[in-house]
Structure 1
Amino acid sequence: MSVQSMPVNAMSDAQLAAHLAQIAGRLLINVRDAGVFEGKALGGAGDATANEFLCHALRSARPDDGLLSEEEKDDAARLSKSRVWIVDPVDGTREYGEKRSDWAVHVGLSIDGVASVGAVALPGQSDAAGNPGLVLHTDDAGPLAQAAETPRFLVSRSRPAKEAVAVCDALNGELVPMGSAGAKAMAVVQGQAEIYLHSGGQYEWDSCAPVAVAMAHGLHCSRIDGSPIQYNRADPYLPDLLICRPEYADEVLALVKRGA
């Protein structure tokens, strides 16, 4: 039985995350291609559509789990749960509204505060076979691609983090501007860059699914002081993040500590 034909309550957590992220991505492409909305209005329509689908589907498939979504009013009941789904219906709303490809859908599962299961859909990108709608998840981990000789640092298109710029300079690296956090993290997973260092502020939904996928693929994931990233906290704000190839982790963390 294929995953697509399997009842959702029979799917593993990783299968469910990937399945829902893929469907949400298709819905978002349909909303975009309908031609009814543009710019910020398109972003708002996409957020609302994907959020309604994801939250309803997760509550139906996993009724005993907690849920935290960027687009839903926070329910403090999640804090008493061991298992909490953390979703970002459109990560990179600006890029989605601009009809770019560097935006994502995040479906992550935190278990006891750890990003344990997740899927990141990149609906504007194609998979290795050329099929539209790339989805990376925690059950599809393979070997990392070979690193480039010059480390590539993924940064915001408009506000590159000063720590990332400083560490990049110290390592004679190359800055690569890109949109959403999920797109950046998955670029490291796919071997399109080596380091994603962010210090400009994020929330748990920005990184839970990407961190779960990145860790499953053998990447280093931590705060920029080297401490573990903790999820399902009362305040979901997470100021910083490092996702990188493991061979760069110690040097990058040391450079950040020394102020590069």
Structure 2
Amino acid sequence: MTFTEQTARDWNNDLALIRDAARQAGEIALSHFGKSPEVWWKLEGRSPVSAADFASNDRLHMLLLGARPDYGWLSEETDDDGARLKRETLFVVDPIDGTRAFINGEKTWCVSVAVVHRGSPVAGVLFAPALEEEFFAVAGGPAVLNGQPIAVSAARPGEVSEIAVAEDMLKSFNPAFRSTLRRIRHVPSLAYRLAMVAAGRIDGTVVKRNSHDWDLAAADLILERAGGRLVDMQGKRLVYNRADVQHGVLCGAAEHVLDSLVAGLDAG
């Protein structure tokens, strides 16, 4: 058997652990939602972080490393000391993916938690408490939303594809290809956008450069197990837990639109 085929059984205990932890962290974040939590700005004022992010992160750190002290740790809200690079398995965490939405009172934010083993996600959960949605997957198993298996959209010949993409990137496609796409309203949470693709609500999304492992790992696995793929501009799957956790331009989509999106971006 391949690694992926043999691990559906092996990683289920970790999946149960991260589902419980994500739910507890999500309830903490939800207790701050709509109550104007204190907000700070990082990365030269371009990225917000709230008191809810830190509270959620603290709960995840306590629960996850308390249960698996031999695992590594990578979180958006924890300083990265590089120790994770010596660990074969680690938790990759975003305590609130979509902080801008969270601060603005929009419900499309989620807690993202993945277990990454040898560079690949093997268990992942996205918990969106304001929407009462939980997406999860384990290597070799199905992608699940609120207890029901999900799948990416099927090809619809002659119909336009719904894509989450920045307006400036959409304009870079040639006019003929652009006419086959319909851009949806922006969703700040990258993880949730990929979950929308996994659930077949949209056909694909284009990710601008400088996303990070914590934005992607859990959603990447959920999308894969739903029948889609997240790839770079060479069509390659991502490798996680590198020294540099940033990524270039990416496409996540159902198979019927993925290659065209990558080719259109490359041509643009």
How does the TM-score come out when normalised to structure 2?
0.81
Mapped partners of 2:112, 2:221: distance in 1: 10
Moved runs in structure 1, 4+ residues, more than 6 A?
Answer: none
Q: CA deviation at 1:13?
A: 1.6
Contact 2:152 2:228 in 1 (8 A): no
Q: Deviations over 1:78-108 (max 9, x none)?
A: 1011111110001111111111111111101
Alignment correspondent of 1:151:
161
Contact 1:104 1:122 in 2 (8 A): yes
CA 1:38–1:65: 2 relative to 1, 3 Å: closer
More moved, 228-237 vs 46-55: 228-237
Alignment correspondent of 2:206:
197
Alignment correspondent of 2:182:
174
Q: How do 1:1-260 residues align onto structure 2 when only pairs under 5 Å count?
A: 12-32=13-33, 35=35, 37=37, 43-125=49-131, 133-139=132-138, 140-141=142-143, 142-144=149-151, 146-147=153-154, 149-155=159-165, 160=166, 162-167=168-173, 170-172=177-179, 173-176=181-184, 177-259=186-268
Mapped partners of 1:90, 1:47: distance in 2: 6
Mapped partners of 1:165, 1:110: distance in 2: 35
Contact 2:39 2:51 in 1 (8 A): no
Q: CA deviation at 1:181?
A: 0.4
Mapped partners of 2:161, 2:107: distance in 1: 23
Q: CA deviation at 1:153?
A: 1.0
Q: Deviations over 1:24-63 (max 9, x none)?
A: 1111111225x36366699511111100000111111111
Cα RMSD, aligned residues only? 2.3
* 3-state DSSP of counterpart to 2:251: strand
Contact 1:28 1:46 in 2 (8 A): yes
Q: CA deviation at 1:150?
A: 1.5
Mapped partners of 2:178, 2:36: distance in 1: 46
Equivalent pairs counted in the alignment come to 238
Mapped partners of 2:174, 2:71: distance in 1: 40
How does the TM-score come out when normalised to structure 1?
0.83
CA 1:62–1:91: 2 relative to 1, 3 Å: same
Contact 1:197 1:224 in 2 (8 A): no
Contact 1:38 1:97 in 2 (8 A): no
Q: Which runs of 5+ in 2 are unaligned?
A: 1-10, 42-47, 144-148
